[in-house]
């Protein structure tokens, strides 16, 4: 996949996209309108954020309880990544993720592992830049990997307290994921991601966990 232009928010579907719908909610004082837009992967939502900038820097509101999202984060985490870092691919059995980029650039790869989803087996990729604020809500059962081409900081919230047992993973470049990272260098991985199983093993573990 060729790199997308700076600021591009377009998902690149590898199969025909599902219909796109838009839900809107009015923010509170000082707000405006926030739209949460569905993507071609069922349950994945894009939330455009507004940056208020002056000569001191900028302010961005990243989350409100009243926004039209199917999650209420109970834990927030900030992560700093060096250039060339790959995180994932991971999938959660029971919790949503809500993420945005505070500095740098994140290339997001997604794959729908849910067997009963209308978009099961579909994959998509997008780029999120800190200077074009955007949040993404990722439901349980949607695999996600993060590639950082430049030094970056991202913030993510989860609607259950983080639990290692709730996270499965596989090799980021497994062909079954259908994710073309178009890397020009060997990525830096955690030891856990380096020894992660293949896609088939992850899928079997996910199906067993969700069948309980």
Q: Cα 164 to the chain's mean position, in Å?
A: 18
Question: What gap in Å lies between CA 113 and CA 99, rounded to an integer?
Answer: 19
Q: Are strands 85-92 and 142-148 parallel, antiparallel or unpaired?
A: antiparallel
Phi, psi dihedral angles at 59 (to 5 degrees): -125, 135
Annotation marks residue 161 as catalytic = no
Annotation marks residue 206 as catalytic = no
Question: What gap in Å lies between CA 56 and CA 204, rounded to an integer?
Answer: 51
Structure-token pair, residue 155: 């913030």
Catalytic residue (choose from 98, 156, 172, 206):
156
Question: What gap in Å lies between CA 116 and CA 139, rounded to an integer?
Answer: 14
Q: Are 125 and 110 in contact (CB under 8 A)?
A: yes
Q: Where are the beta strands (DSSP E) in 82-141?
A: 85-92, 97-103, 105-112, 123-129, 134-138
In this structure, what DSSP letter does residue 5 have? P
Active site residues: 90, 156
């Amino acid at each position: 996949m060729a790199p997308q232009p700076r600021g591009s928010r377009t998902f690149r579907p590898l199969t025909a996209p599902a219909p796109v719908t838009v839900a809107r909610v009015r923010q509170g004082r000082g707000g405006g309108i926030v739209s949460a837009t569905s993507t071609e992967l069922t349950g994945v939502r894009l939330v455009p954020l507004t940056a208020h900038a002056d000569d001191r820097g900028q302010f961005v509101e990243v989350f409100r309880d009243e926004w039209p999202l199917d999650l209420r984060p109970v834990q927030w985490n900030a992560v700093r990544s060096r250039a060339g870092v790959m995180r994932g691919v991971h999938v959660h059995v029971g919790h949503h993720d809500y993420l945005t980029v505070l500095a740098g650039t994140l290339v997001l790869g997604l794959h729908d592992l849910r067997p009963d989803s209308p978009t099961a087996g579909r994959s998509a990729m997008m780029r999120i830049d800190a200077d074009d604020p955007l949040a993404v809500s990722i439901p349980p059962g949607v695999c996600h990997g993060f590639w950082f081409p430049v030094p970056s900081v991202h913030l993510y919230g989860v609607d259950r307290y983080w639990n290692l047992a709730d996270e499965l993973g596989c090799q980021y470049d497994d062909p079954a994921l259908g994710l073309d990272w178009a890397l020009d260098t060997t990525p830096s991985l955690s030891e856990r991601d380096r020894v992660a199983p293949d896609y088939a093993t992850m899928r079997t573990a996910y199906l067993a966990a969700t069948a309980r």
